[in-house]
Structure 1
Amino acid sequence: MNQVKLKSLGTIAYKDAWDIQEELLKTAVSKKASSNESDEVENTLLICQHPHVYTLGKSGHPENLLFRKEELEKNGIEFYATNRGGDITYHGPGQLVAYPILDLEKFGSSIHLYLRNLEEAVIQTLQEYGIKGERLKGYTGVWIEPETYRARKICAIGVRCSRWVTIHGLALNVNTDLSYFKNIVPCGITDKGVTSMNIELNGKVDENQLYEVFIQKFKEVFNVEITKAQTLSTAIE
């Protein structure tokens, strides 16, 4: 059984979390290129939240950011063009953000399977709260009532893979202030909305409890053993 080390970063600036991912990726790729059989890639799951930030994927369209630079600064929102897949999205307080750094050669060597497994971990997490999360054909992520006029996205997913090692990941709207999505065209999709768990449940969700549920579902879906790092917080601060 593959092992994954869980590291909770608490609330961390987007760029700082990105730097951590890139460093873990660099180390993993170096180990894969090594002829030393003891240099095995350490799979990691980073859990965190970010202060307000918009991120644009490498295939995204800058015009989907509806704010000018001065408006971003005025409202205390950062912006980053990233190297992940997908278009533009929002990160902020009240989200579950998960960044798995996995060697996919140990998990089926398939980006498609990896994305579906990320979706499945979220779908099963939502199910524990009585929310029916589903997939929408042609789109990545998790949706509510996807085949209706009320289709709305509750979880965005965007990843990057290098030498079969993944970075970036998913953002599940838990107690998220959805007004921040009004300043972008989320994921470049103009005809569908966004939602959050607290909107669907009409009440605030215990985020630390939710994170534990997600970690358990991630463990089950990916069939891994998860160990918690001792040097970092295990709760969102």
Structure 2
Amino acid sequence: MFASSSRLLTKSLSSRTAKSLDANIASLPPIRYHIFQNPLPYPTGLNLQNKIIDRRLASREGRPDAGRQDVLLLLEHTPTYTTGRRDHSPNPDTLHPEEKKVQHVGAGFYITKRGGQVTYHGPGQLVGYPIFDLNALETSTRCYVSYLQSLLADYIREDLRCKGIIAPHPDGHVGVFASSTEKVASIGIHLRHRITSHGFAINITPEPLKWFDLVLACGLDDVRAACLHDLVERNASSSGVMPTNLPSVPGVARALVSRFERVFGRECVELSAAEGGNEVEELREMVGWAEEEARTLNEAAGGWARAPDLSRSVM
């Protein structure tokens, strides 16, 4: 629905208003994107998002035309469980019930400000952090979430030609589902002064699935995690045509950049190749810092767990 149009919220608007919105979007700079080479520890990714938003807000002080640079960060995390603002433990001195289950399996656990409940991030899963100004886009929070949801679902349906994709769930749950009991992509966002952070996660390989099995993901006790590899192979089996290649995290990241261009009606320019003055240069420095910190932390930790250590888990 959204991927076939470059307009935001213009379908039900008058022609005059639609032209005004198109002109507003056309006046915005390109979306700068960066695809990270190595998995980021979760705090590194969170700090980077906060630094970018802090810088945008600071640049606006006294200059309403500044701080206009939207950013799309695409990455993997090292093994991490997070929960959202709806799911905080009532007692800050007590472990979250889901954290107790995974306390010793080899993954971190963080309470965040995003929407949603407990989920997992790790290698084999693409995470997207769009840092967009919804005021500049003149769109509501609900519509923004719908754009992300449709963008991901349409990629799976159209690029991968997978059938039976559901978005949202028949019971109203946000995300992208391979069936009523299988979830392949999650969405959870946070807004600060109408600037978005956090975003979406889509499972590419089977690697994340065994980590998801340890928790009640998204609070849905009758839904399990699925991945693109399984969906593509299932679709190929039913059609009798086996795929020559399965999706990869870098490949899906590049494909979603194109989807963002189509849905939001704006060019996406790789941050390393982008011109744009001081604001873009500062973005490069912050992203470079995050890349280097991730490399240093991962080396110091000796890498990351490839599978959960179940010898001490509490189920």
Equivalent position of 1:95 in the other structure: 125
Q: Matches of residues 44-193 of structure 1 in structure 2 within 5 Å?
A: 44-60=71-87, 62-65=96-99, 67-69=101-103, 71=104, 75-127=105-157, 128-132=159-163, 133-135=165-167, 136-137=169-170, 138-146=172-180, 151-177=181-207, 178-193=209-224
CA distance in 1, matches of 2:64, 2:85: 34
CA distance in 1, matches of 2:161, 2:99: 33
TM-score normalised according to structure 1 size:
0.88
CA distance in 2, matches of 1:162, 1:12: 23
CA distance in 1, matches of 2:120, 2:135: 30
Larger of the two Rg values belongs to structure: 2
CA distance in 2, matches of 1:60, 1:31: 33
Say how many residue pairs are matched: 225
CA distance in 1, matches of 2:254, 2:204: 13
Q: Percent identity?
A: 24
After TM superposition, what 4+ stretches of structure 1 lie above 4 angstroms from structure 2?
none
TM-score normalised according to structure 2 size:
0.67
Q: Which has the higher helix share?
A: 2
Match of 1:211 among 234, 253, 266: 253
Q: Does 1:26 align with 2:68?
A: no
Indicate the SS of the match to 1:183. coil
CA distance in 1, matches of 2:182, 2:100: 20
Q: Is the 8 A contact 2:79 2:120 kept in 1?
A: yes
Q: Which amino acid aligns with 2:40?
A: I
Q: Is the 8 A contact 2:35 2:253 kept in 1?
A: no
Q: Which amino acid aligns with 1:145?
A: S
CA distance in 2, matches of 1:176, 1:6: 26
Gaps of 5+ in 1: none
After superposition, the C-alpha distances for 1:53-96 in whole angstroms (9 at most, x for unaligned) are: 10111111532345152x2xxx3211111111110000011111
Computed over aligned residues only, the root mean square deviation of the Cα atoms, in angstroms, reads: 2.0
CA distance in 1, matches of 2:178, 2:40: 28
Q: Is the 8 A contact 1:6 1:228 kept in 2?
A: yes
After superposition, the C-alpha distances for 1:93-124 in whole angstroms (9 at most, x for unaligned) are: 11111000000012233110000000111012
Gaps of 5+ in 2: 1-25, 89-95, 234-242, 273-283, 289-294, 296-315
After the TM superposition, which of the residue ranges 207-216 and 112-121 deviates more from structure 2? 207-216
Q: Is the 8 A contact 1:155 1:172 kept in 2?
A: yes
Equivalent position of 2:267 in the other structure: 225
CA distance in 2, matches of 1:29, 1:139: 32
Residue 154 of structure 1 deviates from its aligned partner by 0.4
